[in-house]
Amino acid sequence: MKLWHKVAGMCVAAVLMAASNLCINASKVDGKMPYLSITVTFLVEALKFAACIVVLLVSPPKLGPHQRYWLGWKESLYFAAPALLYTVDNNLAFVILRFIDPATLSVLWNLKILTTAALFRFVLRRKLGQLQIIALMLLVLGVVTSQTKHTVHHGVHDRANATALELEEGTRFMLGIALVAIGCAISSLAGILAEYALKKNPSTPFFLQNGYMYIFGLLFNTAGLLAEHSNIAANGFFAGYNGWTWTVVLIQAFAGLMMGFIFKYLDNIVCVYTHVVAMMLTMLVSILFFAFELTLEFSCGFGVCAISMYLYHLPDGTSQQNSCHGTASPSSDEEYEKLAMDSDSSCRSTASTVGSPHRRESSRSDDEDELDARC
């Protein structure tokens, strides 16, 4: 994939995520969300699934002789795990905001940069070059620097108004930190498993794969709706909805499809950078329209993040297995097929080595064939 395609995909996804954050904030009434978050995530999954069905019906993909419009039950289960984790992750953020303020959460949530990089290396077995590791370190530094003063300001303001909370401030904050750590791990693992599921069979149409993931997402969100059955029965499914809420549903649906595109054709590290760009865009819009103060810390952090993004996508001679750099190494699709089918690949490799008449190095097999022919 060309570099400008990658950049375009990142920018579109980042704009959608930034718009989603701003619309969620605008949907609040008296500083609180008047609707159930599980209803929003259910509608988002339903809209994404409907979009996949429409695309498959309007523009059906050309399938090969051995391809089908449905997946086997074993293959479809690969999409269940990320769907479950995303269901938990999408609703966990609403819970975390009960314990810590949004500014602190925006900084701490970027710990997923490190958890994603670790899982990217040890679960997907994808190596990061030295230049990429340096770029990720700069990214963490830039994110923390950009919001340091903003976080301190909001933290002091929130602590001044926390006297009416049921738990002591220190206990609530530590609980919030624990939930953030859990959320970062869940979010990173969900992204890694989604990338693995989408790239395991690269020839399978993108919208067909996403359709299966969204089916599981609907099932898990339905379970969440059943857990909130009493509230929904008393107040209604759309209780507290306003125009901004519906805008959130639309934007998050399109953002989810774009993130699937990134997982399918790029990787999780690009997804991390997309989240950081979305955070920066949110801050810039806040400066322009919401009287947010432009600070030296934010300007420096923004510059460091931009340098980090540039360094990450530079060719690095030490990362010969990373397909993002366009080296002569095998493609990422081949790597995932090899990772998913190690045993089958080894069997085929052994069979081709023994059966090929052009391999002079297999002298033992040739000698035995010659001896049999003479007899």
Query: What is the residue-level pLDDT of the chain in tens, covering all 375 positions?
Result: 566 777 788 889 889 988 887 888 788 888 788 899 899 999 999 999 999 999 999 988 777 666 666 777 888 889 999 999 999 988 887 778 777 766 566 667 777 777 888 888 787 777 778 888 888 888 888 777 766 665 545 444 444 444 444 446 667 778 888 888 898 889 889 999 998 999 888 888 899 999 999 999 999 999 999 999 999 999 999 999 999 999 999 999 999 999 999 998 888 888 887 877 887 787 778 777 766 677 787 778 778 877 887 787 676 654 444 443 333 344 444 555 555 455 444 444 444 444 444 444 444 444 444 444 444
Q: How far is residue 108's CA from residue 106's CA, in Å, rounded to a whole number?
A: 6
Cα angle 132-136-142, degrees, rounded to a multiple of 5 = 140
Residue type, 199: K
Are 145 and 300 in contact by the 8 Å Cβ rule? The answer is: yes
Are 347 and 216 in contact by the 8 Å Cβ rule? The answer is: no
Q: How far is residue 135's CA from residue 121's CA, in Å, rounded to a whole number?
A: 15
pTM: 0.71
Report residue 334 as tokens: 């081949």
What does DSSP assign to residue 83?
A: H
Distances (CA, A) of 273 to 47, 120, 265: 26, 14, 15
- Give the list of residues 6+ apart from residue 188 with CB closer than 8 angstroms, or none: 112, 115, 116, 118, 119, 268
What does DSSP assign to residue 100?
A: S
Q: What pLDDT, on the 0 to 100 scale, is given for residue 169? A: 65
Q: What are phi and psi of 322, to 5 degrees?
A: -100, 115
- Give the list of residues 6+ apart from residue 170 with CB closer than 8 angstroms, or none: none
How long a stretch of residues is the chain? 375
Q: Which helix (H) or strand (E) holds 147?
A: helix 130-160
